[in-house]
Amino acid sequence: MLNSISWNQYVTAIITLLLFYYCFVGFKYFRWEILSLIGIKRLEEKSTAIQVADIKKHYVASNHVDFLPKGNSDEATVIFQPFWDEANAYLAEMKPEAPKEEIFFAVKIILGKYPGLHSAEHKLGLENAIAGLLAQYYPEKFTAADIQYMWV
């Protein structure tokens, strides 16, 4: 079979295949550069420039001291704060029409992550914190008896 193909046909086929290959690569990856050589320019999208002053209006400078840890000597606050932050964030994102059982289960799970709060000395403060959070996000949905139910 190789005897039926001459060197001239072989070289012509290789050159033709290489020409097609480089045309494909040029069209695929360098389309606009090649078209710009013959005078066709790409139209850029019309966009409006945003002034730096307009961007700066959206960002308010803050005081670095606001983000530093607060020096608090009250041990109860140090213990309650992480629980309160997490429960507050969770309840803020929870749907208002969520059933009581689901809300109590979520608060119990969050409370389970903080074993230091299970002592009797923190029970009253914890009940007040939970009651305040539930009253903030679900007014008139929970009673004091409901909050006592959490400890069962």
pLDDT in tens, 48-105: 666 776 676 666 666 777 667 666 555 656 777 888 888 888 888 888 788 888 888 8
The two tokens of residue 47 are 């966009």
Question: Are 21 and 89 part of one and the same domain?
Answer: no
Provide the mean pLDDT of the chain.
80
The residue segments making up the domain with residue 8 are: 2-37
Question: Are 75 and 31 part of one and the same domain?
Answer: no
The answer to the question of residue 62 being in a domain is no
Tell which residue, 117, 128, 130, 148, has the closest CA to residue 90: 130
The answer to the question of residue 22 being in a domain is yes
DSSP state at residue 92 = H
pTM as predicted: 0.47
Question: Are 73 and 143 part of one and the same domain?
Answer: yes
Number of domains into which the chain is organized: 2
Residues 82, 86, 87: CA angle, nearest 5 degrees: 115
Look at the block and give the residue holding tokens 């320019």. 41
Question: Are 85 and 31 part of one and the same domain?
Answer: no
